[in-house]
Amino acid sequence: MTSALPARASRLRGARALFTGRAGGVGAGDYATLNLARHVGDDDGVVERNRALVAAEIGLPLVFVDQVHSADVHVLPETGPVPVLTADALVTRRRDVALAIMVADCLPVLLSDEQAGVIAVAHAGRAGLLGGVLQNTLAAMAELGAAPAQISASIGPSICGRCYEVPEEMRADSSVALPATWSVTRWGTPALDLRAGALSVLTAAGIPAAEIDEDHPCTLEREEFFSYRRESRTGRLAGVIRRR
């Protein structure tokens, strides 16, 4: 399929998945051009037009949540309208909607169990990752019949462990909770590697390492992505998934 948007596709069994970038939308200025977030100061009409472009690309209406860096998961109702709730992950068996999660340096994590027909998205920033958002998402998937050995996953564009500088105390506390997050910046200061942390959580849960797609760029280093660290007044990209 030829993409109308310059989005990065991700191969997940039983699903169509993509990660948006900055390009391809209708916005301008700090939010140019494909900002998908309403809460960052952009014009609501522009955001809705951008969301419609992504919905057209994925082929289904998008479902979002109000993200607050929590570990909370929302399982969609089996049928009917989907209310916008406060959470940082979404899980469903439905075929009539696509799930979307927004980031601008945090990890967008997409998950699919083709055999069980279950898909999920999670926003894994530092707080959510350490708080258990991925474990909670996998538990919610399991309640719908998914099993870790059957799941494929993708960790999308996000800030890398050589760029995510943090205070030494934060690195120490975080690495006690999740040792794989310990890192050092390219310039030698304390850092966190959230992607390595997420990978360790997913593999520890039983997802085969070969089924985890983590080969995506650093949002801080690559200007084709929104980055809150690079420009605090900026938009949000999204990880989007639907069942095939």
The helix (run of H) or strand (run of E) holding residue 203 is helix 194-204
CATH top-level class of 8-243: alpha beta
Task: Give the per-residue pLDDT at 208.
Answer: 97
Domain boundaries, the chain: 8-243
What are the phi and psi torsion angles at 199 (to 5°)?
A: -60, -40
The pTM of the full predicted model, rounded to 2 decimals, is 0.96
pLDDT tens, residue order, the chain (244 aa):
335 688 888 889 999 999 999 999 999 999 999 999 999 999 999 999 999 999 999 999 999 999 999 999 999 999 998 888 999 999 999 999 999 999 999 999 999 999 999 999 999 999 999 999 999 999 999 999 999 999 999 999 999 999 999 999 999 999 999 999 999 999 999 999 999 999 999 999 999 999 999 999 999 999 999 999 999 999 999 999 999 9
Q: For the stretch 158-172, what's the b/e string if a residue is b when 16 or more beta carbons lie within 10 angstroms of its beta carbon?
A: bbbbbbbbbeeeebe
Question: Chain-centre distance of CA 99, in angstroms?
Answer: 10
> Among residues 61, 76, 151, 156, which one has the least CA distance to residue 112?
151
DSSP state of 55: H
Task: Give the per-residue pLDDT at 81.
Answer: 87
Q: How far apart are CA 11 and CA 1, in angstroms?
A: 13
